[in-house]
A and B are shown apart, each in its own frame.
Chain A
Amino acid sequence: MIETDILIIGAGPTGLFTVFEAGLLKLKCHLIDALPQSGGQCSEIYPKKPIYDIPGFPEVLAGELVDNLMEQIKPFQPGFTLGERAETIQKLDDGTFIVTTNKGTKHHAPIVAIAGGLGSFEPRKPKLENLAKYEDKGIAYIIKDPEVYRDKKVVIAGGGDSALDWSIFLADVASEVTLVHRRNEFRGALDSVEKVQQLKDAGKIKLITPAEIIGLEGDDQLKAVLIKKMGEEESITLEVDNFIPLFGLSPKLGPIGDWGLEIEKNAIKVDNTLDYQTNIPGVYAIGDVNTYPGKLKLILCGFHEATLMCQSAYQRIFPDKKYVMKYTTVGGVTGFDGSKKEAPKAVIKAIE
């Protein structure tokens, strides 16, 4: 059981900044995210896109913003459960919560802060008959352990970075790698595109474009895929052990929608007059995942919401303590790791 003060669901910018504001109040945080890395949409969808409306940053790449936030919260030693989706919540008699992930990891905290953005990212699945039948029986949407594909015949579908990168990686692992894409053009980092070109020329990756996988064959286990090249009548049957469709991820609110929270327009209703608490006391929702009159889904609004939410969480955990907000320019930042940052003292010295 992972114990913490504030359990944050979602490691996007809002969730990450919550760690900082909680840290100033000496509250420890742990974050759960379905993605294997922190940063949420900023890392997953648009890491190379510039953002222009972060106060104090005339221009910052989404990926850089995440790196900066990770640096900013480092002294507060947040814990992470990555690659797992928060599945269930249980309220204990003492008012604290246990949140369990899809992999069974349990987290215990007096405060739950849902900073889930548009939801957890789920792989986008191609529309193929019998697709579900072969899931985990030859078909996987996420590569967890590349060794599974050692000496196997693998077909990958998709035209983005992950399709390119995994084709390159598996070229050295699998006995055969075939990459199928609907276009001749790929959208990815230039060096990945070039690398796939080299591997294709060297005969280590078979490229079938423009083409689409239109059917699956096999008994219990996937045995072959049907590939249709654009402009050709006949489809090709390709014998494979594994099929990895990599068509990106799309966010779904998912199990959080069944937690008994008040939902409106695919978002969680909160009290915006006070502290962004939901209809379940002790559970807050901040950032893009919440809604209230006049809500704007902006990173800067998420930061503000996180800040107020932490004050309320503190009062909830320590109802008898008096607390006065301290500016970081005055109090500095004292990390849980023993680090201390503070304003350098001015020199006071007479000029003779």
Chain B
Amino acid sequence: MTDIKIKITDRDGNTHEVDAPTDMNMNLMEVVRSYELAPEGTIGICGGMAMCASCQCYVRSKHELPEKSDDEDAMLAEAFYVEDNSRLGCQIHMTEDLDGLEVQLAPES
């Protein structure tokens, strides 16, 4: 299997179920951009270096995600609207374990 299903709730509250490839070295931020679920220029501003928090999302399902790197942790410490389940989409790589993942995009800031 190379595609997984992910549920992404956009900033307007609409939920989209999308297919995400696991064999293309993609992260969640890139999946959101490829389906244009957030306007260009409002997500992935730093390109995926955990340096801007524009791809912050809330993880709604119980999936076990890889631990936050120090960079991601520090960036979230400076971001707004941060909750306990906040993660940076750019740091979540699409793997088969994440099939059925449910996330919600954090507000733009």
* Interface residue ranges, A against B (CB under 8 Å): 41, 45-46, 49, 118-119, 124, 126-127, 158-160, 181-183, 185-187, 247-248, 250-251, 253, 265-267
Contacts and interface: CB of A to CB of B under 8 A. Distances in A.
Interface in B42-76: 42, 45-46, 49, 51-52, 54, 70-71, 73-75
Contacts of A251: 41, 45
B109 A124 contact: yes
B46 A159 contact: no
15 contacts: A45-B51, A46-B49, A46-B51, A126-B80, A158-B78, A160-B74, A181-B77, A183-B77, A185-B73, A187-B74, A248-B52, A248-B78, A250-B52, A253-B41, A265-B39
Q: What 8 A-B pairs are tightest by C-beta distance, nearest first? A: A266-B41, A187-B74, A265-B40, A183-B77, A182-B77, A266-B40, A159-B77, A159-B78
Contacts of B35: none
Contact of B78 (A118, A127, A160, A253): A160
Interface extent on B, as a size class? 20 to 34
Given A182-B77, A183-B74, A248-B78, A46 B46 contact: yes
Given A46-B49, A46-B51, A250-B109, A266 B80 contact: no
A165 to B, nearest CB: 15
A213 B46 CA distance: 26
Contacts of B41: 118-119, 251, 253, 265-267
B42 A185 contact: no
A94 to B, nearest CB: 34
A250 B107 CA distance: 14
B52 A45 contact: yes
Interface of A, secondary structure class, is: loop
Given A46-B51, A119-B41, A265-B39, 11 more contacts: A41-B46, A45-B51, A46-B46, A127-B80, A127-B81, A158-B78, A183-B77, A187-B78, A250-B52, A267-B40, A267-B41
Nearest to A163: B78
A95 to B, nearest CB: 30
Contacts of B45: 45, 118, 250-251
Given A46-B49, A119-B41, A250 B80 contact: no
Interface of B, secondary structure class, is: loop
A45 B80 contact: no
B80 A185 contact: no
A182 B39 CA distance: 29
Nearest to A49: B49
A7 B52 CA distance: 29
A186 B109 CA distance: 21
A159 B51 CA distance: 13
Nearest to B107: A127
A304 B90 CA distance: 28
Contacts of B49: 45-46, 49
A253 to B, nearest CB: 7
Contacts of B109: 124, 127, 250
A250 B54 contact: yes
A159 B40 CA distance: 28
Contact of A266 (B42, B52, B74): B42
A211 B16 CA distance: 36
A266 B52 CA distance: 18
A250 B46 CA distance: 10
A247 B40 CA distance: 22
B58 to A, nearest CB: 16
Contacts of A250: 45, 52, 54, 109
A193 to B, nearest CB: 12
A41 B49 CA distance: 12
A276 to B, nearest CB: 18
B104 to A, nearest CB: 18
